[in-house]
Amino acid sequence: MIAVVQRVSKSSVTVDGSTVGTIGHGLNVLLGVADGDKSTDADYLAGKIPFLRIFEDDKGKMNRSLLDMGGQMLVISQFTLMGDCRKGRRPSFIKAAGQPLAKKLYDYFIDQVRKLGIDVRTGRFGAMMEVNIVNDGPVTLLVHSR
């Protein structure tokens, strides 16, 4: 699994003109699932992302995690993170997980993060979405489970 983690001042996702998920200060997580990923991959990401010390403390240093500051998380499925652009001009998505596995691990990741007490909002799995992100910093990290 791969996650693009962005520290945001606000973020929202819209499907067919209706907002389905919105957060204030927190993390926007674009989540991609690879063929062969397992629940242990989701466990790794759920055990890593909320604890990343990427929020500023009272001295302006990145010393606080999402849990420390009580922020929200917006999780959006994005199979295109598995796109391989090394050959030709059209990305290959052969390494992306099929919909049943991807949906199962996407939901599992969200459940694991919610168990930590984090307010998690989501996009709509498999839908065409419009994502609005106000990146704070900017702070953007790639987190791989492997």
- Is 80 marked active-site? yes
Which of 138, 132, 137, 145 is closest to 11 using CA atoms? 132
pLDDT of residue 26: 98
pLDDT of residue 38: 98
- Is 78 marked active-site? yes
- Count up the domains in the chain and report the number: 1
Residue 86: which CATH number? 3.50.80.10
> For the segment 29-56, what is each residue's pLDDT rounded down to a tens digit?
999 999 999 999 999 999 999 999 999 9
> For the segment 59-93, what is each residue's pLDDT rounded down to a tens digit?
999 999 999 999 999 999 999 999 999 999 999 99
Tokens representing 69 are 């500051």
- Is 79 marked active-site? yes
Query: How many CB atoms sit inside 10 A of residue 133's CB?
Result: 18
Residue 68, domain extent: 2-144
Query: How many CB atoms sit inside 10 A of residue 27's CB?
Result: 29
pLDDT of residue 140: 98
For the chain, the average pLDDT equals 97
The answer to whether 2 and 24 have CB atoms below 8 angstroms apart is no
The catalytic position among 6, 14, 72, 79 is: 79
